[in-house]
């Protein structure tokens, strides 16, 4: 994913802190969420970062001021002019005189109204969100006891009906049918509904239902980190079903590994209850308690006792 400098500056949160000072190339592409400090680049040690933004703060300012004017001007101009970066952000009051006086200007220059920390945090956060890799996945995504559970399975297996059941039990719907998945950190993915479908669910025979209106504000949630995947399968496919639950299965999206449970759907099974229990089990495992392994130890202990008695 990438965005142009012009598009970035049009975003409301960005326009509140960054003011364009001199934009020579509005079509410059920002392809990385990392915001670099200008820092050492001023001394000449520099690798090209044509898709990054750079930040020029108090430290850089005092360094530039300590050099003789001609030298400092040259060094900074070089960084700005040869497309070494997509744009440079100067903190307010830290712009060298030769730039602010309207001298030779080149490259993309913005001024931040805020201090270093606020500028760096806000710009990085927004870039993170905008540039995060995204994909859509067929399924239902719910917040169950505060755990983000993605339900997958073939069409017609009853995912939406199950979601309705879970909603009436007090859990929250994030997305029905189409889930947008974003990688927000190297080890974290987030799921949400596409804007058009937010808060809606489709039930065969009923049509499209506005969940928030029918069940209230707490029945939906706009986005959530995905922590577990539950795959629903037909009752007759037992090859991938776990009987004891001692083996852990995983699946991955964007190289982020997530625990996977495969659960067969059969008539008369209270699926919502099973999903709730699966979520409770996940929460226990997260705390380091594995019930299946516990049971295995318990069984071994009893057998051992039995043998000992036989021997004794």
Partner 1 sequence: MKEETIKVKNRRGLHARSATLIVKTSSKYKSKIMIIKDNMEINAKSIMGVLMLAAEYDTVLRILADGEDEDSALEEMVKLFEHGLIEE
Residues that bind partner 1 (CB under 8 A): 134-138, 154-156, 176-178, 194, 196-197, 200, 202, 208
110: exposed, middle or buried (Cβ count in 10 Å: 0-12, 13-18, 19+): buried
Q: Which C-beta is closer to partner 1: that of 159 or that of 261?
A: 159
Q: How far is the CB of 140 from partner 1 (least distance, A)?
A: 10
Contacts of 312 (CB under 8 A, 6+ apart): none
Q: Which C-beta is closer to partner 1: that of 82 or that of 235?
A: 235
Q: How far is the CB of 137 from partner 1 (least distance, A)?
A: 8
Q: Which C-beta is closer to partner 1: that of 172 or that of 182?
A: 182
198: exposed, middle or buried (Cβ count in 10 Å: 0-12, 13-18, 19+): middle
106: exposed, middle or buried (Cβ count in 10 Å: 0-12, 13-18, 19+): middle
Q: Which C-beta is closer to partner 1: that of 197 or that of 258?
A: 197
Q: Which C-beta is closer to partner 1: that of 104 or that of 138?
A: 138
**Tokens read off for 52:** 């990054």
Q: Which of 254, 5, 11, 2 shows the shortest CA–CA distance to 126?
A: 11
Q: Which C-beta is closer to partner 1: that of 2 or that of 104?
A: 2
Query: What are the helix and strand counts (H, E) for the chain?
Result: 10, 19
Strand ranges, E, within the chain: 3-4, 18-23, 29-30, 35-37, 49-56, 85-91, 108-112, 134-138, 140-144, 147-152, 172-175, 178-185, 188-192, 200-203, 207-210, 223-225, 228-234, 250-253, 256-265
Q: Which C-beta is closer to partner 1: that of 138 or that of 273?
A: 138
Q: How far is the CB of 202 from partner 1 (least distance, A)?
A: 5
Contacts of 246 (CB under 8 A, 6+ apart): 292, 293, 296
Q: How far is the CB of 8 from partner 1 (least distance, A)?
A: 20
Q: How far is the CB of 207 from partner 1 (least distance, A)?
A: 9
């Amino acid at each position: 994913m990438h965005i142009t400098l012009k598009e970035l500056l049009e975003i409301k949160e960005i326009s509140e802190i960054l003011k364009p000072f001199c934009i020579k190339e509005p079509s410059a592409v920002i392809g990385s969420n990392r915001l670099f400090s200008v820092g050492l680049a001023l001394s000449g040690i520099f690798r090209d970062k044509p898709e990054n933004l750079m930040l020029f703060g108090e430290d850089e300012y005092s360094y530039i001021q300590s050099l003789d004017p001609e030298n400092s001007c040259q060094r900074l101009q070089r960084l700005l002019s040869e497309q070494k970066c997509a744009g440079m952000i100067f903190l307010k009051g830290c712009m060298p005189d030769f730039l602010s006086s309207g001298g030779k200007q080149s490259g993309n220059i913005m001024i931040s109204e805020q201090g270093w920390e606020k500028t760096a945090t806000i710009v990085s956060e927004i870039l993170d969100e905008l540039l995060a890799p995204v994909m859509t996945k067929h399924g239902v995504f719910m917040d169950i006891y505060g755990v983000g559970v993605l339900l997958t399975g073939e069409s017609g297996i009853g995912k939406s009906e199950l979601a309705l059941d879970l909603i009436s039990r007090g859990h929250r719907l994030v997305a029905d049918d189409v889930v947008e998945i974003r990688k927000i950190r190297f080890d974290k993915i987030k799921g949400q509904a596409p804007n058009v479908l937010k808060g809606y669910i489709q039930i065969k025979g009923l049509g499209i239902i506005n969940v928030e209106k029918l069940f209230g504000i707490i029945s939906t949630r706009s986005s959530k980190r995905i922590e577990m995947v539950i795959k629903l399968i037909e009752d007759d496919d037992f090859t991938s079903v776990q009987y004891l639950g001692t083996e852990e299965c995983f699946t991955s999206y964007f190289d982020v590994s997530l625990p996977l449970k495969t659960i067969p759907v059969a008539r008369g099974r209270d699926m919502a209850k099973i999903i709730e229990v699966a979520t409770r089990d996940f929460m226990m495992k997260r705390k380091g308690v594995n019930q299946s392994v516990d049971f295995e130890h318990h069984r071994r202990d009893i057998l051992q006792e039995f043998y000992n008695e036989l021997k004794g």
